[in-house]
Every structure is written in structure tokens, then in C-alpha cells.
């Protein structure tokens, strides 16, 4: 797939998961930034992001609490929660 124009590692990993192959976690520069900021993994780069993603407990396997759910939950606490007061009921 990497031979196709415009298909990089992130797109290839996503396409493989759609076909049922869960050997790689779809990671890009945003994933590296997140691992730097949230998990303080300053040594994380695009070259070793797969290792670090698995190190923090993310898994490409669909039977686990998937990578996407884990990342979205972490991002929601970074991006959304700061805009609400802790005593504020946001569900009303």
C-alpha cells in the first residue's frame, strides 16, 4: 500500500484495520504530539511511535479498549473539561 501515491503509514494502518488486519496502530504526528504532552514520552518519534503507543496500553486489537476510544477519552479531558467548572453540571 505504501507504493500508492498519498498513502502513508497512518492511512495504510487504517486501511489494513478495515480489512481485519490489526498488526499496527494508526499513528501520525498528532499521535506523537499527544504522547509527548499527555504521557510525557519525549523520546517518542514517528519512527518509534508504535512501541510507545503500546507502552501506554494502546492496542490495535479490536477486542481491547481500542486506541481510538483511549485517545478520544484523553483528548476530551485536555480539550473540553478545562472549559467547564468542576461543580457545573454539564448534562442539564
Cell of 2: 505504501
pTM: 0.60
Cell of 48: 518509534
User: Which tens digit of pLDDT belongs to each residue from 15-67?
Assistant: 888 888 888 888 889 889 989 998 899 999 999 998 998 888 887 776 544 55
For residues 80-92, average pLDDT: 54
Beta carbons of 90 and 84 less than 8 angstroms apart: yes
Cα gap 30→25, rounded to integer Å: 13
Cα gap 92→50, rounded to integer Å: 40
Burial label for 13, CB within 10 Å (0-12, 13-18, 19+), is buried
28: Cβ–Cβ under 8 A, 6 or more apart, which residues? 8, 9, 10, 46
First to last CA, the chain: 47
Amino acid at each position: 500500500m505504501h507504493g500508492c501515491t498519498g498513502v502513508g503509514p497512518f492511512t495504510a494502518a487504517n486501511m489494513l484495520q478495515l480489512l481485519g488486519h490489526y498488526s499496527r496502530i494508526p499513528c501520525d504526528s498528532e499521535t506523537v504530539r499527544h504522547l509527548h504532552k499527555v504521557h510525557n514520552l519525549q523520546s517518542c518519534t514517528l519512527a518509534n511511535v508504535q512501541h510507545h503507543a503500546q507502552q501506554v496500553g494502546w492496542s490495535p486489537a479490536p477486542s481491547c479498549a481500542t486506541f481510538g476510544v483511549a485517545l478520544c477519552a484523553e483528548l476530551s479531558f485536555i480539550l473540553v473539561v478545562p472549559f467547564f467548572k468542576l461543580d457545573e453540571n454539564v448534562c442539564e
